[in-house]
Chains A and B, each alone.
Chain A
Amino acid sequence: MTTYRAQVRVWLKPSVFDPQGNAVEKALLTLGFAGIEEVRIGKSMEFLVTADNQESAEAMVDRACRDVLCNPVMEMYTFTLEARQEA
């Protein structure tokens, strides 16, 4: 068994208006950050997952994303897995 650190990123689909991103973008422009655009705000989640191997850990995290962490009606996700270093 190996323990991995999973990092999941969830954000709104491009077709969905993101009012938070829009407000932050306007604030950035007001503060003089010219050239910043298409601000999108999402969520980042982290957890440990223990599985036989990388492949089954990936399958588990993918299922967790689809069933719980992300609502595919409005959101998309990506994740990375990194084997935890033994102390």
Chain B
Amino acid sequence: MKWAVIVFPGSNCDEDAQQAIIRVTGDEATLVWHQETSLADYDAIVLPGGFSYGDYLRSGAIARFAPIMKAVRDKAVQGTPIIGICNGFQVLTEAHLLPGALLRNRDLHFHCKMVELRVETNRSPFTAAYQPGDILRIPIAHGEGRYFADSAILHELQEDHRVAFRYVDNPNGSSESIAGILSKERNVLGLMPHPERAVADFMRSTDGAGVFRSIHQYVTEREGAHAH
């Protein structure tokens, strides 16, 4: 299968994501510049971390209007797995592909550290390799990661089992300790922690590998089903 990692001006986790995909799945992973307009050749899309457009106006607010985002939207409708990591999550909320918004951390600090996450659901292309209740050690690195949504949306996320990950110890003041959420169709995931930074022993954790393995398995099984 083929992965696309979208590169905006100011993305800085694009190559980390690419290398993590190659290391975990052995798949082909291509960096795709934000001025491109088609993602037809790709089976999974990654919006990486960083500071797209310098976080001007709001994090993710300008990236949302990049030419590639129309193609991302089309892929979302087609059911392709799309994962937004950190700044990628912020872009997905600004693009209304995920509900809510990400605000300045409650304590104003930029937190760059290993945290523990609890897997809340494995009913998704991103978390199938885990069990609900699994505790993962995955690093965060953000200043604006406080997930916010009104109570109706929070209720809906809870009812539909669309909270993918919660922090064990809430580092940023996120509503209901939310670290990652799924779209209604469950094929779009946004999360603040960086699974691509937890895929090798030297990274002090390999717990993030399951995200990439899950996506790989989901796509290859889907392709297999289509072939018959």
Contacts and interface: CB of A to CB of B under 8 A. Distances in A.
A15 to B, nearest CB: 8
Contact of A19 (B65, B94, B106, B149): B106
A19 B57 contact: no
Contact of A16 (B61, B105, B107, B148): B148
Interface string B75-110: 000000000000000000110000111011111100
Chain B contact surface mostly = loop
Interface string A15-55: 11101100100000000000000000000000000000000
Given A73-B93, A73-B149, A74-B148, A68 B57 contact: yes
A69 B61 CA distance: 9
B10 interface: no
**A: interface residue count bin:** 10 to 19
Given A68-B61, A71-B94, A73-B100, A20 B108 contact: yes
B60 to A, nearest CB: 9
Interface residues of B, number: 19
Given A16-B103, A17-B106, A19-B104, A71 B148 contact: no
A20 B58 CA distance: 15
Interface string A48-87: 0000000000000000000011010110000000000000
B171 interface: no
B100 A20 contact: no
Nearest to A18: B104
Contacts of B104: 19-20
A73 B148 contact: yes
A19 B107 contact: yes
A73 B108 contact: no
Interface of B: 57-58, 61, 65, 93-94, 99-101, 103-108, 148-150, 173
7 interchain residue pairs of minimum CB distance: A73-B101, A74-B101, A19-B108, A19-B104, A19-B106, A74-B148, A71-B101
Interface of A: 12, 15-17, 19-20, 23, 68-69, 71, 73-74
